[in-house]
Each structure stands twice: as C-alpha cells, then as structure tokens.
Structure 1
Amino acid sequence: MEDTGVPAYLPVYLDGATAAPLHPVAREALLASLADGWADPARLYAAGRRAQQLSDAAHAAFAEALGVRADEVSLWPSGTAAAQAAVLGGLAGRARQGDTLVHSAIEHSAVLHAADRHQARAVPVDRRGRLDLDAWERAVEGDGVALASLISASHEAGTVQPVESAAAFCAGNGVPLFVDAAQSVGHVPLPTGWSLLSASAHKWGGPPGVGVLVVRKGVRWLSPYPKDDLYRPGVPGALDLPAVVAAAASLRAVLGEAEAEAARQSALVDRIRERVAATVPDVEVVGDPVDRLPHLVTFSCLYVDGEALLHALDRHGFAVSSGSSCTASTLRPSHVLEAMGVLSHGNVRVSLHRGTTAEDVERFLDVLPGLVADLRKEAGM
C-alpha cells in the first residue's frame, strides 16, 4: 500500500449544513413505508387509499412540527424547489400589487435566481451578516412591493436574522414575508410573523428530495407552473411518498432532540471559534458570535487558496465546505461574504450534525493550523 504520509483516521463529516446524515428514525420510516408508499394516492382502489393515508399522516406531522395547519403544507422535490415556488408563486399571486421583491443581500442563490425575472430591491447587512432593519423598513414601504424574502439564518455565516422585526414592518405595509428556514428547522425555534416558509428535509437528517413549503391561509399564491389547480401549492406530478413519510418522522424526532443538541453543538462551535482565532494567524471568524445557529461556523484564512485548503483537509479525512462557493464554473466568491464585507479567501465552513463528537472537533483543530501553514509556505507567503 502506498504511504501517503497522512495518518489513517476514520473520515469525519463536517458538512451537515449541506446535508445531514440520515437520522435513524428516517431510515426506519423509509423502509417501513415502502410497502404502501409506492401507489398513487390519487387513486380510489385499496393501494391508493393506503398511500393517501400515509400522505395525510405526513402532512399532519409536518403541520404539527411547524405549528401550522395541514392544508397549509405542500411538498416539493427539494428545498430549492420549495423556496423558488414560494417566491415565484408569491409574486404571481400579487401581480396586481406590483412586481418587486424586497430581499436581504444574503438570500440563498435559489431565491435570487427565482427573482431574476422580476424587479428586486436588495437590503444590506452589517459585517456580522445581520439585516439592516432601517433599510428594510424603507424598502418595504416603497411602491410596487409584492413580496419580501428574508432567510431565517445565514447558511454561510450562521447569523440569525431579526425575522420577527422584519415581519412587523412587512405587516404594517401589507406585504407578505417569505422565510427560507432551511438551516433553522430542526436546530432553533422558528420565528413568527411570516406568510410563507420553506425547509429542506436533508438539512435536518431526512432523506434528500423532500422540500416543504408552507403558505398561510389568506396569502394569495398562484402557481408559476402548468397544473390543474393553479391556486393550490403543490408540485405537478408524483412525489417520493416513502421519502416524504421518512422526512416527517425524522423531523418529529429531531425536534425532540433539538434543545439538547443545540446546547451540545453550540459548545463545540464556541470551541472552534476560539481555537481557530488563537492558533491560525491572519484568520477572520465571520458571523455573529452570539445570535447564530448552534451548529455552523465559518472562517477565512488570508494568503490561502480555499480550494487547496478543502482538498488538504479532505486528504486528512475531514469533509468540510466552503462558504465562498467558488467553483470552476463561476470563479467568483460568495455573494453572502461580499455583502458582509468580510474576507473570502481561504474560506471554510464547518457545520456539525448529531453524530459529530468532541473528539472529531479536537482532531480537526489539531490538524488545521499545520495545513494552513503548509499551504502558505507553498504559496511563498
């Protein structure tokens, strides 16, 4: 066997914000529902009726978990699809009021892409990634505003947004507020005051391929897709019903563990924030240190290529992500970090999940400083 010079450790997955490992409850529910979840719930024969019962139970479980009515919940093929349906459907439903979407400068790219065909007003954030509420108030007061969009917490910096304050300004101006809660659901309590909300099952440990969209009663939504009922949110075609059932079951389980897990993960993130700042020269730990998600931390290392750092960490058994979202196709840093005005070079996002241990974090913190130093040396810094 070739000696790579890298110690043989079990891989450590530290990218739970992208996709959390499948929760045991999700696995059990997925296998159990395969027997009856294959049939078309719209059919009247026995197999269809059994599938419809599974679908109804899943909708009820989602509604209970999110504190809404079951008929306000619709399921989509992904969190991205749910978020885009919220924006496109919300704007289409209020076309008489205007064609403008007010959004924070750090929304997920899925929201920004959905708004491309409409007018948009981006509201800035401060260096910690927190929304400028004064600018938000001025934006939603403007003419022609049909919808507002505010992510519940930054998926790159972890900063929790003042959703309830932003929602109050929206309500005062008769503007529905859409909240992308993909990173929050299952980790922190949901805010109040919103009109539409989306979430993604594989962020909390459910299976991939299940997005959740909630449209509250009284909010006008018009499908942007060809379908029979344009006023009822829902994706045309069939959903993966066993995956839907598993997503609902796992969300219920995750919420039961959420408070204890948030405390455990938050302590580990505090350790990462402190140790990285103390042991890696020329580093910036970004995001709010207090009003933040419990499981996510991002830092940027000056004089280091982010892609090279991710590959080096991967060779040492650590799967992490880059908040800078630099890819070969775009070659540009994250719009989130740009909006915050923070360092985007050598950017690393570490996000924990229920299986992450203190030992995993310690080993990561032991390895990181040496890898950064080696890469800087190779770059001649």
Structure 2
Amino acid sequence: MANPSPDDAPSGESDRLPGRAVLDAAPGPMHPRARETMLAALDAGWADPRRLHREGRAARRLLDQAREVLATGLSVSPSEVAFAPDGPTAVRWMTDGLRYAARRRGARVVASAVEHSAVLVPGRHAADAAGDPAAFDAVAVDHAGRVDLAAWRQAVAAPGTVAAVLQHANGEVGTVQPLEAARAACQSAGVPLGVDAQASLGRTSPPEAYDVLAGDAASWGGPGGLGVLLVPGRTRWLLPGPADPDAAISGPSGHTPWVPLALAAAEAWQQTAAEAEAEHAEAFALVDLIRVAAAAVADVEVVGDPVGRLPHVVTFSALYADGEALVREFDRRGFAVGSGSACTASTLEPSHVLAAMGALTHGNVRITLPLAAVAPDRAAQVGAFCAVIAEVVESVRTELGARRL
C-alpha cells in the first residue's frame, strides 16, 4: 500500500530498549512500514471523512483505500468491513449485533469457557440482569483448551439460543478451535456464529467458518485503537440504537475510525501477508524451542495443544512459584513476558482460561512472540530466554521459600 504522502516520512525505529527482549507482544510494536504510513497520513488524512470539503473528500478516499485492502486480504467486499475503537469492542459489538438482530426469537447466547472477557463478562451480566442464568452458557473445554463439541451441539440447539461465539484460537495458550464443526452445529440449529479472531488475524490463515468475525489490528502489526468487524451481507446483524446516517462511510458498525489508524492497519496487513509463510514457520519453530525448554524444568507444565495452535503463543506454569514474581525476575534479566489472564493482564488475575482447562492457574508465564519485522533478533532472544528458564524458576522458588516434594 503506497504511502499517502512524501517519500521522506520517518522510518519508524522501534522504541524497544537496547538489550531488552519483548516476548509479550499482545499487543506488539507496530510494523515499521505501518508506522511510516501512519505518520505520513497525519498530513494527508487528518480530516473527517464525512465532510464534503476537499480535505474531507481526500480523507474519505484514503479510508476507502484502507477498507479495500483489508477486504481483499480477508476475502470479503469492502461494504462488509467495519471498524471499532479496539479489538475487545469489536468482539462486544459482534455479540450484541447478533443478539439484538434476533431479539424477537430470544436472547440466549452460547460461548466457550475460554473466551475473551469481552464475551464472558457482558454475557454473564446480561443473564444476571435478566434473572435467567440459562441465558448465557459457557461450554466446557478439554485439557488443551478445545471446546467440547458434543456439549457445544447440545448448547446451541437449546430453545431461545440466538447467537454463539467461539474464538478462532486462544490468545493465551494458542489452541485452535474446531470452527468448521462448531459452525456446522450452529447452522443445524439455525444459530449464527460470531468468531473472535483477535489473537490470530495476520498470524495464521484467516478463518472461513463464521457469520461475523471480529479482530484487532494490533495482532498483525497494525496500530492499537482499531478493531475490525466483518459482517457478511448474508448475516442478520444490527446494533441497538438509531441507524447511522453515514453508514456508507462508517460501515455496518457506525464507527468512523481515525483515518491514519485505518491506513496503518492496511499497510501492516499487506506487509505481514507478504511475509506470512516465512513468519509462520519461524515463529512456530521458536515456540517449539520454548515448549521443550520449559517442559524440561521440574514441575513445569506447558499448556495448550502442541500442534494445533497459533505459531507465536505459548504458556507454561511452574508449581511452587508465583506468576508475578516470575514476571519480575524475567524482567530484571531483560525479558518482557506476560502472566495471568491475557485479557486482564494488568491485574495478574488468575487465568480463567487455565482454570477452565484444569491447568495450574498460578506460576504461569505467557509468551507472545513479536513479528520478525519488528524484532529482527527474535531468534537470538528466544534462545537466550530458553537458556534462563530453569534458572529463573529455581530462583523464584528459592525466594519464596518453596520446597519441591
């Protein structure tokens, strides 16, 4: 995607400190070319694309260009691409739109127990507010985090079910969900399926089995603050509230994004798509190295499916250790890693994903590899990280006074 302004736009060097390894890229740094595009667009696309003056029309053309790039990459028409203020909002709108469009038939929503908090928290709240616990059903998963398909089929067939939500893959343990089988069950029951692809878009092949799809531009090296919704024309989907008079510009969601964000997201999509095959293979191999190194440490469990997974995500849990202490010790040694629930990471709450899987909910470390384009020394960083896993775990156990039995 060509930059919308001069060739001498800033180059977009990473703000990562020298000697630091950022292995918690959820979200990660922007793709350098996306950063260049966004900075250039500050001059060319600053205006409101809904305005009729020359500057507004120029911004509208750039927004249409960004939407066209994303539509082509995701195999939909531009009119089916909508935006949201961020990924979690896109997921909430995805669910709300499916439920509201079918409000005359019922209000029951089905999801898996390992969904993002943007699904689980509003779903449970709505059920509590209605005084009907059965209005939201979180279906159990197996030890790898994969939804129980037999229970899923039963849940979506229950009377009053109007929507189902299932992630493409889990952003915490990486396990890919059986979307084709899950959607087949939904179609048999006449229930639309919304798919949360926040963790996967741009990092593996986009899913095809969905009725509405939600994602986050940050997952493929785009900017934060931009969620994406795909609403195919075949799907009944409508958000509550009055119709948007500028729907031709804002798309189905009614949200008109800041144009530089949309342009940067489109540029990042093009760049990551061009590098996808090599990126996927290298990231998958690097995560395998981490899985092997962590599993070699006594009383450490590596969770998630070892094969049917995202290429760039892995979590391991250490018995007799504390997640916060592990994060701090890795950070002291120059490694930024995550812990706790991926969607409530700032509080280091125990992971509802690991709890649903029956795995250790404490002492966990989550790795989300950045794109090679923003971390060209990624392989060396992973090698260095693997070399200190055992030492860090033992150090934290000693600090906490833990004794292995």
- Note the C-alpha offset of 1:36: 2.2
Change (3 A) 1:84 1:201: same
Query: In 1, Cα distance between the equivalents of 2:344 and 2:239?
Result: 32
CA contact (8 A) 1:82 1:211 kept: yes
CA distance in 1, matches of 2:209, 2:273: 21
Matching residue's letter, 2:109: L
The amino acid across from 2:291 in the alignment is: R
Q: CA contact under 8 A between 2:244 and 2:254: conserved in structure 1?
A: no
Among 382, 386, 395, the residue aligned to 1:374? 395
Aligned twin of 1:84? 92
SS in structure 2 opposite 1:35? Answer: helix
Paired AA for residue 288 in structure 2 = D
Root-mean-square deviation (CA, aligned residues, Å) is 2.0
Matched, 1:217 2:233: yes
In the alignment, residue 362 of structure 1 is paired with which amino acid?
G
Matched with 1:3 is none
- Letter matched to residue 28 of structure 2: A
Q: Contact 2:107–2:160 at 8 Å: present in 1 too?
A: yes
Pair 273,177 (structure 1): closer, same or farther in 2 beyond 3 Å: same
- TM-score calculated relative to the size of structure 2: 0.87
In the alignment, residue 201 of structure 2 is paired with which amino acid? Answer: V
**Structure 2: runs of 5+ lacking an equivalent:** 1-16, 128-134
What do the CA deviations read for 1:236-284 (whole angstroms, capped 9, x no partner)? 5x52110111101111211111111010011111111111111x21000
Aligned: 1:160 with 2:176:
yes
CA distance in 2, matches of 1:365, 1:330: 26
Kept after mapping to 2: 8 A contact 1:9/1:317: no
C-alpha deviation, 1:147, in angstroms: 0.4
**Partner letter of residue 60 of structure 2?**
Q
The question of whether the paired residues in 2 share the 8 Å contact of 1:326 and 1:332 is answered with no
For residues 358 and 100 of structure 1, what CA distance do their matches in structure 2 show? 46
Could you state the TM-score of these two structures normalised by the residue count of structure 1?
A: 0.93
User: Does structure 2 retain, via aligned residues, the 8 Å contact 1:324–1:347?
Assistant: no
Amino acid at match of 1:178: G
Query: How far did 1:164 drift?
Result: 1.1
SS in 1 for 2:238: coil
Q: What is residue 33 of structure 1 aligned with on the other side?
A: 41
* Aligned residue among 233, 246, 268 for 2:252: 233
Asked whether 1:10 is paired with 2:15, we answer: no
What does residue range 1-381 of structure 1 map to in structure 2 within 5 Å?
10-16=19-25, 18-115=26-123, 116-118=125-127, 119-225=135-241, 228=244, 233-236=252-255, 238-278=256-296, 280-324=297-341, 332-353=349-370, 354=372, 355=375, 357-381=378-402
Mark the CA change 1:117 to 1:148 in structure 2 (over 3 Å): closer, same or farther.
same
SS of match in other structure, 2:275:
helix
Amino acid at match of 2:264: A
Residue 235 of structure 1: CA displacement? 4.0
- Deviation of 1:141 after TM superposition, in Å, equals 0.9
Question: Structure 1 residues 273 and 69, CA, compared in 2 at 3 Å: closer, same or farther?
Answer: same
Cα pair 2:323 2:340 within 8 Å, conserved: no
Q: Deviations over 1:143-170 (max 9, x none)?
A: 0011000000011110000011101111
What secondary structure, in the 3-state scheme, does the structure 1 residue paired with 2:126 have?
A: coil
Following the alignment from structure 2 to structure 1, what is the Cα–Cα distance between the partners of residues 85 and 342? Answer: 23
Alpha-carbon distance between aligned partners in 2 of 1:185 and 1:25, rounded to the nearest angstrom:
18
Tell me how far 1:333 sits from its aligned partner.
Answer: 1.2
Task: Give 1:313's aligned amino acid.
Answer: F
Paired letter, 2:318? C
Q: 1:363 to 1:330 in 2, by over 3 A?
A: closer
After superposition, give the CA deviation of every residue in 1:66-95 in whole Å (9 maximum; x if it has no partner). Answer: 111110111111011111111111111111
After TM superposition, give the deviation of residue 34 of structure 1 in Å.
Answer: 1.7
Cα 1:219/1:109, change in 2 over 3 Å: same
Is the contact between residue 298 and residue 323 of structure 1 (CA under 8 Å) also seen in structure 2? no
